[in-house]
């Protein structure tokens, strides 16, 4: 039995996997998470989802600002973990740490590696119009997300799925797979296969500047951006010097002058086809379904949208 498990994770995405571990026969001795941070304009201190869960379940918690220090190295060295499970921790594991666990550091990554290594695999898969993604369970090595893989599971992507929805689905997939993976490792049945590094692609961090919609793209590409950036940072456009965030939309097979509304229902012509807005949020206001929005706002046919 793997008696000494250390878990490293930070966002809500990581929580179901941690919950799956503590509900199994395995024992999680220590949980690592990024420290609480200031959020929003009020600068309120917000704990990570993993920290909140760990405290609620009386788990031993560590939240160092920097993992790469002698204190954390010595702590793990003395603990002598059998295995360390890492899922969306958000910090690079220092090279010298990787030999501290008997069976190494195992990472659950939200893509079908070697595709979409890096910080934003879920968003990039949607924005790239991929038809599927999944999870990969792999051994951590020095180079980012490039370790040998022992398990993958796939999930389909369609034009109605956004990052929040897909993230929840992949999180559940991770949670349902981790115990089985640990069982194989414990029994010596795990088979790790090297990635084809020549096929690697990288999911760079999402920038707020990416949110602005370019109507000279196809409607399918724009919808992929809307879905991929939902909920954060969100895709948006400007109309009469005010910003509007698009929460939901759909592609309609209509044509018109690119970047202009083709009806009074905020359907906007793109390079190919058009985007019909379903849910919208005016800057400084609450999000609304388009019918509710139009009761107090008028964007007439033929208006230029930038």
**Nearest-angstrom CA–CA distance, 246 and 214:** 13
Determine the average pLDDT of the residues in 262-288. Answer: 97
* 97 close to 73: Cβ distance less than 8 angstroms: yes
- Round the average pLDDT of the chain to a whole number and report it: 96
Return the domain boundaries, the chain: 5-203, 208-296
**Nearest-angstrom CA–CA distance, 278 and 266:** 9
Q: Is 197 helix (H, G, I), strand (E, B) or coil?
A: helix
In the chain, % of residues over pLDDT 70: 99
| Strands 105-109 and 274-282, bridge-based pairing | unpaired
Q: In this structure, what token pair is assigned to residue 215?
A: 């109507």
**Nearest-angstrom CA–CA distance, 130 and 170:** 15
Task: Tell me the β-bridge partners of 249.
Answer: 277
**Nearest-angstrom CA–CA distance, 13 and 220:** 27
Is a pLDDT exceeding 70 seen at residue 135?
yes
In this structure, of 32-46, 141-155, 217-231, the range with the lowest mean pLDDT score is: 32-46
Q: Which CATH architecture has domain 208-296?
A: Roll (3.10)
Determine the average pLDDT of the residues in 91-108. Answer: 96
Q: Pinpoint the alpha helices (H) of 141-262.
A: 163-187, 219-228
For 124-161, give the secondary structure using H, E and C. HHHHCCCCEEEEEEEECCCCCCCCCEEEEEEEECCCCC
Task: Tell me the β-bridge partners of 284.
Answer: none
Confidence of residue 294 (pLDDT cuts 50, 70, 90): very high
Output the pLDDT for position 24.
Answer: 93
Q: In this structure, what token pair is assigned to residue 96?
A: 């010298």
CATH fold for the domain made of 5-203: Rossmann fold (3.40.50)
| Strands 61-62 and 83-87, bridge-based pairing | unpaired
Determine the average pLDDT of the residues in 87-105. Answer: 95
For residue 210, what is the DSSP state? G
Determine the average pLDDT of the residues in 152-160. Answer: 96
Q: What is the pLDDT of residues 197-210, one digit of tens each?
A: 999 999 999 999 99
Output the pLDDT for position 40.
Answer: 64
Q: What is the pLDDT of residues 13-55, one digit of tens each?
A: 999 999 999 999 899 999 999 999 877 665 788 999 999 999 9
């Amino acid at each position: 039995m793997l008696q000494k498990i250390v878990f490293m994770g930070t966002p809500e995405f990581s929580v179901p996997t941690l919950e799956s571990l503590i509900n199994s026969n395995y024992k999680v001795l220590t949980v690592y998470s990024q420290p609480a941070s200031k959020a929003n304009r009020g600068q309120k201190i917000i704990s990570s989802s993993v920290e909140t869960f760990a405290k609620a379940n009386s788990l031993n918690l560590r939240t160092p600002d920097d993992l790469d220090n002698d204190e954390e190295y010595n702590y793990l060295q003395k603990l002598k973990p059998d295995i360390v499970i890492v899922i969306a921790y958000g910090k690079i594991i220092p090279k010298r740490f990787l030999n501290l666990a008997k069976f190494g550091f195992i990472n659950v990554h939200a893509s079908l590696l070697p595709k979409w290594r890096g910080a934003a695999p879920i968003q990039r898969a949607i924005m790239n119009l991929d038809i599927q993604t999944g999870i990969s369970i792999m051994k951590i090595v020095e180079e980012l997300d490039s370790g040998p893989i022992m398990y993958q599971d796939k999930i389909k992507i369609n034009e109605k799925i956004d990052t929040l929805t897909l993230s929840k689905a992949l999180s559940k997939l991770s949670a349902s797979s981790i115990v089985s993976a640990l069982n194989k490792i414990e029994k010596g049945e795990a088979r790790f296969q090297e990635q084809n590094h020549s096929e690697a692609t990288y999911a760079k961090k999402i920038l707020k500047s990416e949110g602005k919609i370019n109507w000279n793209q196809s409607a399918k590409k724009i919808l992929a951006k809307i879905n991929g950036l939902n909920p954060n940072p969100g895709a948006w456009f400007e109309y009469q010097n005010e910003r509007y965030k698009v929460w939901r939309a759909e592609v309609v097979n209509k044509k018109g002058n690119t970047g202009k509304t083709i009806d009074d229902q905020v359907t906007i012509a793109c390079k190919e086809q058009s985007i019909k807005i379903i849910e919208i949020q005016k800057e400084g206001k609450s999000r609304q379904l388009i019918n509710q929005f139009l009761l107090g706002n008028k964007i007439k046919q033929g208006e230029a949208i930038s």
